[in-house]
């Protein structure tokens, strides 16, 4: 029997007067609204009309309901307070939620292939309750774009193989689609909450489940399930202008496969989530993003993983101990720092960037060929004992003290490539940046039209054509230190040449390097002298100026 509210000031002694009418209302409404609804309806009527004739009031309600008049509806207050009002519509048991939407409580139909309606009784279907479709022998299901929430185990223990979730969906509960026969799942980008093992249980799902993360713009992400169904790896995308997901089908994303994002243009926000443990070869090659944040869980980065991108600044997390070949080649890197104990750096790992300063951890044992070549390095810290590959620090030419200089291949000494000053008396330093100058290019002299004298320090090698020393029109004095080596290329016109007025005396040319060798490679000063000579020929006498370098 329907019980009225018990407020004494509301009910007084009028309850018995309308008991018969009350029961008639209940009888008529019981198939439409649950008991609680009727109770709230009656209570609401009493609250609004405490002094009215209750019998006449409810007679009017009953008459209008029986005549199916649409102008008499349950009070809105009743609908809002009744959070779960049970209804039954053909194949579905439902509840009204907040008076404005439907939650499917249970599927009671018999079909194995179903299309869930978007509306029931004029209200949108927004929620599917936990266990609502559990163990119903379903082989396929279409979920409407109105559904926002799917509860725990909602579709578990069925035979569903292919699944496309609606773009309206924001939450999927734990094990919502577990114990099915899923082959592919299409998930909207709007889905932000995915419960544990939402699309399968460890040991039950197949390892080749194909999952697509589908945005409203049809930008898709493909994955492969690994580790016996316990994790996922991103294997490919159609467009990468968004974040990297951390969870797919209820499983953590642990890796980015080979070429997964390669050559896809603009890339998301440049953040690699902490859950990512490995990045495959060429995974992001030729993508375009300036900022890159590597997650703390990252353990390995493949060859050319970030080659040809536009990265400017980089921090290698402490979890990474090895940089593979060409990993960051051809970026715009200006700064690189290492948080942990890097052991090895592969060949051309940082080749072709704009790095100015590099400080390698003491743990580094090997540096590959051209690892830091073709940058703008002016400051290098290399751990003692590290094995350094050929030309690891080559082609880092920058200006320093009126010279263009670069590091030697092992990064432990300096090579002077060109003089860019205007000093009359050029003093070549023995050290630059605290490192010994070991080599001087012939360009230092070839392009020098200002200096009258030059002083070369001890223990250097002059590489190139020594005739370049004589191309300076003003150079008249050369001071050479101890243990200087002049490496000739064999094509020079020579230091001791005949500056001729007419004719040619090429047979008399001899390179400065040969003069230096003939002099026993002794340290000392060479000064320029000239002598007028006459050479008789059949056609007449030629006047020549003989140029000589004299040693003191």
Average pLDDT, the chain: 77
pLDDT reported for residue 130: 95
Q: What tens digit of pLDDT does each residue of 363-380 get? A: 999 999 999 999 999 999
Kind of pairing, strands 398-400 and 387-388?
unpaired
Cα separation, 92 vs 452, in Å, equals 101
* Residue 223 pLDDT class (50, 70, 90 cuts): confident
- Per the structure block, which two tokens stand in for 523? 């340290």
Angstrom distances, CA of residue 278 to CA of 260, 292, 306: 12, 15, 13
Q: Please report, for the chain, the start and end positions of each structural domain, with discontinuous segments joined by +.
A: 8-79, 258-396, 414-551
CA distance 203 to 25: 55
Quick check: 3 pLDDT over 50?
no
Which CATH class, in words, describes the domain spanning 258-396?
alpha beta
3-state helix, strand, coil in the chain (%, to 5): 15, 30, 55
Query: Of residues 305 and 27, which shows the higher confidence score?
Result: 305
pLDDT digits (tens, 9 = 90+) for 400-431: 888 999 998 888 999 998 888 888 899 999 99
Give the span between the Cα atoms of 212 and 224, in whole angstroms: 10
Per-residue pLDDT at 78: 38
Task: Tell me which range, 101-105, 287-291, 417-421, is most confidently predicted by mean pLDDT.
Answer: 101-105
| 316-342 confidence digits (pLDDT tens) | 999 999 999 999 999 999 999 999 999
Q: Which of 4-8, 394-398, 538-542 has the lowest mean pLDDT?
A: 4-8
Mean pLDDT (whole number) for 310-319: 94
Average pLDDT (534-542) is 70
Q: pTM of this prediction?
A: 0.55
Examine the pLDDT at 258 and tell me if it is beyond 50.
yes
Distance CA 163, CA 212 (A): 10
The pLDDT, as a whole number, for residue 398 is 87
């Amino acid at each position: 029997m329907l019980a009225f509210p018990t407020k004494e000031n509301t009910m007084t002694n009028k309850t018995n007067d309308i008991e018969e009418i009350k029961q008639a209302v209940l009888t008529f409404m019981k198939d439409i609204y649950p008991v609680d609804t009727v109770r709230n309806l009656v209570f609401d009527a009493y609250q609004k009309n405490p002094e009215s004739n209750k019998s006449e009031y409810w007679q009017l309600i009953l008459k209008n309901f029986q005549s199916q008049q649409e102008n008499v509806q349950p009070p809105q207050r009743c609908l809002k307070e009744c959070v779960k009002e049970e209804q039954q519509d053909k194949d579905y048991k439902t509840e009204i939620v907040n008076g404005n939407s439907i939650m499917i409580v249970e599927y009671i139909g018999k079909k194995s292939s179903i299309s869930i309606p978007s509306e029931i009784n004029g209200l949108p279907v927004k929620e599917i309750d936990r266990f609502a479709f559990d163990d119903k022998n379903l082989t396929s299901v279409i979920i409407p774009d109105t559904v926002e929430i799917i509860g725990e185990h909602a579709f578990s223990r069925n035979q569903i193989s292919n699944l496309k979730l609606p773009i309206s969906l924001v939450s999927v509960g734990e094990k919502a689609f577990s114990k099915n026969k899923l082959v592919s799942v299409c998930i909207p980008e709007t889905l932000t909450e995915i419960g544990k093992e939402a699309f399968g249980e460890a040991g039950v799902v197949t390892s080749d489940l194909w999952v697509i993360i589908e945005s409203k713009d049809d930008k898709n992400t493909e994955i492969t399930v690994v580790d016996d169904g316990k994790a996922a790896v991103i294997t490919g995308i159609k467009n990468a202008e968004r974040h990297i997901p951390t969870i797919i089908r209820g499983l953590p994303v642990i890796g980015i496969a080979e070429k997964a994002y390669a050559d896809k243009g603009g890339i998301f926000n440049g953040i690699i989530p902490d859950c990512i443990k490995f990045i495959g070869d060429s995974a992001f090659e030729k993508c375009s993003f300036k900022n890159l944040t590597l997650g703390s869980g990252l353990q390995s980065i493949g060859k050319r993983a970030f080659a040809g991108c536009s990265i400017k600044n980089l921090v290698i997390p402490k979890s990474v101990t090895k940089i593979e070949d060409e990993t960051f080649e051809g970026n715009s890197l200006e700064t690189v720092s290492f948080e942990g104990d890097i052991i090895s750096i592969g060949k051309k790992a940082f080749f072709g960037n704009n790095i100015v300063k590099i400080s390698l951890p003491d743990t580094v044992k090997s540096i590959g060929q051209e690892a830091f070549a073709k940058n703008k390095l002016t400051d290098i810290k290399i751990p003692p004992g590290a094995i350094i590959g050929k030309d690891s620090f080559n082609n880092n030419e920058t200006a320093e003290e009126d010279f263009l200089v670069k590091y030697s291949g092992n990064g432990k000494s300096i090579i002077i490539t060109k003089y860019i000053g205007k000093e009359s008396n050029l003093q070549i330093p023995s050290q630059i940046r605290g490192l010994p100058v070991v080599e001087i290019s012939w360009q230092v002299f070839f392009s020098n039209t200002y200096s009258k004298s030059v002083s070369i320090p001890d223990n250097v090698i002059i590489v190139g054509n020594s005739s370049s020393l004589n191309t300076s029109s003003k150079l008249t004095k050369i001071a050479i230190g101890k243990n200087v080596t002049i490496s000739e290329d064999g094509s020079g016109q020579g230091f001791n040449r005949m500056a001729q007025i007419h004719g040619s005396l090429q047979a008399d040319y001899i390179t400065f390097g040969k003069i230096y060798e003939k002099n026993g490679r002794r340290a000392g000063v060479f000064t320029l002298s000239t002598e007028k000579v006459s050479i008789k020929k059949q056609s007449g006498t030629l006047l020549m100026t003989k140029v000589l370098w004299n040693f003191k």
